[in-house]
């Protein structure tokens, strides 16, 4: 009986090792500087498959959330494994944070990390002409703006034609005048104080022209090589739903292939953290999108 139990335990242990090795079949290079001189947050991580690819792989660059004031490139959940298993390289980037720098500097940091990837990812097995950009929350706004306003990537010498997809997840700032007006009217009608230094009006500069300029919707137009979009949002959240629909409508009017996915029975954090789960409806929709545009 003891011998049989030992054999069974040994088999289970071997199975666990095998499963672990399967789910960890990738390598990560951390804290690679993408700017010179580099700030401590001018760094990114690159996740690659264990086996050296025989041909250049498409690349996903991910931009973390955190209200433009916090967050870290390590907050990626299951995404590295999910994308690497589907034949991508996965890159997660940091950027400088508000209020230490202004919003324009934050956007330029993300563009700078993309420029670095475009110039250097070939050394890591990636294809510099097939890059997708994604992000959650604040990262969704940053991903969307660099994929719609081509000035930022032009400054880094990266053509829009290298972008093959954008995956913004539950952002509420694709059209800043809308979210600012809604938030302030809501507070006014309920007798609540207006948003202070952490409100969008202040973070993005208290200037209506800046609010328009930092809105991805403002820069959507035909003929710019804006990449296809897979826009994820929490369907029960009125602000992110309205913003997602506004961005999708602008893109579709410009004849940009766009998929709008509204997640049900989920939350702002969960819709992001569930990306990569086999039973997640949003992940299934993302797989279909990648099959169409990513390869």
* Tens-level pLDDT at each residue, the chain (295 residues): 444 444 343 433 333 333 333 454 899 999 999 999 889 999 999 999 998 888 999 999 999 999 999 999 999 999 999 999 999 999 999 999 999 999 999 999 999 999 999 999 999 999 999 999 999 999 999 999 999 999 999 999 999 999 999 999 999 999 999 999 998 888 889 999 888 777 899 899 989 999 999 999 999 999 999 999 999 999 999 999 999 999 999 999 999 999 999 999 999 999 999 999 999 999 999 999 999 996 6
CA distance 243 to 156: 28
- Geometric angle at alpha carbon 124, from 122 and 125, rounded to 5°: 65
Q: What is the pLDDT of residue 265?
A: 95
Residue 195 class from Cβ within 10 Å (0-12 exposed, 13-18 middle, 19+ buried)? Answer: middle
Helix (H) or strand (E) holding 261: strand 258-263
The tokens for 113 are 């990390």
Which neighbouring-strand residues pair with 131?
Answer: 59, 163
Residue 158 DSSP class: -
Question: CB pairs under 8 A, 24+ apart, for 73-76?
Answer: 73/43, 73/44, 73/45, 74/45
Q: What is the pLDDT of residue 2?
A: 46
Residue 228 DSSP class: P
CA distance 131 to 241: 26
Side-chain-side CA neighbours of residue 199 (13 Å): 16
CA distance 92 to 266: 24
Architecture of domain 23-175+215-293: 3-Layer(aba) Sandwich (3.40)
Contact 290, 282 (CB under 8 A): no
Domain ranges of the chain: 23-175+215-293
Strand order in the sheet with 26-33: 26-33, 43-49, 89-93, 57-63, 126-136, 163-169, 229-234, 258-263
The tokens for 102 are 């202004």
Contact 42, 93 (CB under 8 A): no
CA distance 233 to 220: 19
Which neighbouring-strand residues pair with 51?
Answer: none
CA distance 1 to 214: 70
Q: 89-93 and 258-263 as β-strands: parallel, antiparallel, unpaired?
A: unpaired
Residue 288: C-alpha distances to residues 35, 47, 259, 295 (Å): 35, 22, 10, 11
């Amino acid at each position: 009986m003891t011998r049989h139990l030992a054999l069974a335990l040994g088999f289970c242990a071997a199975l666990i090792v095998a499963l672990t090795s399967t789910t960890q079949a990738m390598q990560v290079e951390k804290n690679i500087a993408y700017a010179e001189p580099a700030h401590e947050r001018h760094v990114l991580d690159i996740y690659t498959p264990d086996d050296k690819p025989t041909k250049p792989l498409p690349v996903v660059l991910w931009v973390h959330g955190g209200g433009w004031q916090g967050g870290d490139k390590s907050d990626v959940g299951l995404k590295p494994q999910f994308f690497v298993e589907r034949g991508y390289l996965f890159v997660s980037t940091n950027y400088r944070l508000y209020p230490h720098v202004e919003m324009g500097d934050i956007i330029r940091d993300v563009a700078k990390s993309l420029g670095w990837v475009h110039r250097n990812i070939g050394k890591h097995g990636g294809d510099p002409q097939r890059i997708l950009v994604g992000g959650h929350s604040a990262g969704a706004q940053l991903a969307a703006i660099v994929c719609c306003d081509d000035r930022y990537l032009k400054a880094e010498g990266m053509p829009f034609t290298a972008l093959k997809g954008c995956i913004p997840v539950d952002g509420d700032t694709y059209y800043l005048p809308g979210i600012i007006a809604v938030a302030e009217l809501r507070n006014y009608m309920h007798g609540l104080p207006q948003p202070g230094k952490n409100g969008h009006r202040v973070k993005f500069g208290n200037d209506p022209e800046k609010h328009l300029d930092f809105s991805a919707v403002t820069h959507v137009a035909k003929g710019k090589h804006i990449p296809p979009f897979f826009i994820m949002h929490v369907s029960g959240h009125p602000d992110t739903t309205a913003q997602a629909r506004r961005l999708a409508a602008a893109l579709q009017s410009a004849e940009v292939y766009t998929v709008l996915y509204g997640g049900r029975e989920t939350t702002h954090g969960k819709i992001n953290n569930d990306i990569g789960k086999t039973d997640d409806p949003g992940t299934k929709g993302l797989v279909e999108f990648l099959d169409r545009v990513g390869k």
